[in-house]
Amino acid sequence: MTGKIYRNTLRWVHIAIAVVTGVFIYSPWGHESWFENLMAFVVFPLLVITGVLMWQQAAVMKRLRKGMDQ
């Protein structure tokens, strides 16, 4: 996987998760318990993980290349 494909994939996943967060904040579904649980245990952790992976892309790509060489 090249760095550009990796970055674009993470960017679109991050944007999609941000849209779900916007729906949570601005829609009436935000008060539903199932949606709150989805946000707390799935969406927010994925948002954090994709953000950290984009931030540390150089280190992640280095580890991925190192793992593929072995």
What digits encode the pLDDT tens for the residues 42-63? 999 999 999 999 999 989 888 8
Higher pLDDT: 64 or 39? It is 39
The per-residue pLDDT for 26 is 94
pTM above 0.85, yes or no: no
Q: For the chain, give percent helix, strand, coil, nearest 5.
A: 90, 0, 10
pLDDT of 7-52, one tens digit each? 899 999 999 999 999 999 999 988 899 999 999 999 999 999 999 9
Contacts for 4-13 with beta carbons within 8 Å, 24 or more apart?
6/57, 6/60, 6/61, 7/54, 7/57, 10/50, 10/53, 10/54, 10/57, 11/54, 13/46, 13/50
**What tokens were used for 29?**
């579904």
Gap between the Cα atoms of 20 and 30, Å rounded: 10
